[in-house]
Amino acid sequence: MVETLPARRRLFAALRPWRRTALISASLLGLYALAGFLLLPAILRPRIEKTAGDLLGRQVTLARLRLNPFALSTSAEGLAVTDRDGAPLLRWDRLEVNFEALSSLVRREWVFKDLRLIGAAARLAMAQDGTLNIDDIISTLGAPPAGGESSGPPPVLRVRRLRIEDGSVSFVDRSTGTAFTSTFGPLRLDLNDFTTRSDEDSSYAFRGSTESGETFSWRGQVGLGPLRSDGEFTL
């Protein structure tokens, strides 16, 4: 018994640094999870609303933002952009984004495993003078950066799977005196291995319907730089 006590003490002394390391690691992991699941969504959601609102010149609201720091995924729910006339300009029920950090480092490009947009609806309106309600947004997004200095080419994007479900686009034309309104939807788009790299093509499948019940579909290959498409359109 006399020989056992010193041996146990030596064992406990040897394990003490490992226990300290395990405790610190567990604490850091808990803080990482707390920040990712709770703190960051609460901080980012109002900033996203303000930044997007300033960029678009319109009111932007986001009902809920969810982050998963372990899967590197996010979900933005209940987005609504209100046009200047008070009508809805853009909305969606849910946007799901899944980022691949390891592939992005290896390929040196932004790689997303999955992008999924559900319940999106957009509204285009043409005024009596022929201008569109989004002309100012197009001008803002196409304007050169402040100072006139270019920041270089944008990073290459790669999306392994992009899906748009239950989308719709409504169009209002007031340029002819009598307002004309039409809605296209529901729309569905499936795009596989999409990339902004100019030397590669991506396969896509697009289908939808009009409010009068006409259906259309389009599938084939699409590429950028220059913009090109090769496929089959059915009406």
Q: Mind listing the pLDDT tens digit for each residue in 69-123?
A: 988 899 999 999 999 999 999 999 999 999 988 777 777 788 899 999 999 999 9
Q: What is the pLDDT of residue 2?
A: 47
Which whole number is the average pLDDT over 119-137? 93
Whole-angstrom distance, CA of residue 133 vs CA of residue 138? 10
Q: pTM of this prediction? A: 0.80
Which whole number is the average pLDDT over 147-156? 66
Whole-angstrom distance, CA of residue 138 vs CA of residue 132? 10
Q: Give DSSP secondary structure letters for 178-200.
A: S-EEEEEEEEEEEEEEEE--TT-
Q: What is the 3-state secondary structure (H, E, C) of 69-134?
A: CCCCEEEEEEEEEECCCCCEEEEEEEEEEEECHHHHHHHCCEEEEEEEEECCEEEEEECCCCCECC
Contact 104, 113 (CB under 8 A): no
- By C-alpha distance, which of 213, 215, 159 is closest to 190? 159
Least confident stretch, 57-66, 81-90, 97-106, 137-146: 137-146
pLDDT in tens, 178-232: 888 888 888 998 988 888 877 778 888 888 887 777 888 888 888 776 777 788 8
SS3 of residue 202 by DSSP: strand
Q: What is the pLDDT of residue 97?
A: 95
- Count of residues making up the chain: 235
Q: What is the pLDDT of residue 133?
A: 94
Whole-angstrom distance, CA of residue 146 vs CA of residue 142? 12
- Strands 157-173 vs 180-195: parallel, antiparallel or unpaired: antiparallel
Q: Which helix (H) or strand (E) holds 141?
A: helix 135-142
Residue 177, pLDDT above cutoff 80: no
Task: Give exposure, 60-69, as e/b (b: 16+ Cβ within 10 Å).
Answer: bebeebebee
Average pLDDT, the chain: 84
Whole-angstrom distance, CA of residue 184 vs CA of residue 182? 7
SS3 of residue 145 by DSSP: coil
Which whole number is the average pLDDT over 141-158? 69
Whole-angstrom distance, CA of residue 154 vs CA of residue 112? 16
Answer left, alpha or beta for residue 201, where phi above 0 means left and psi between -120 and 50 means alpha: beta
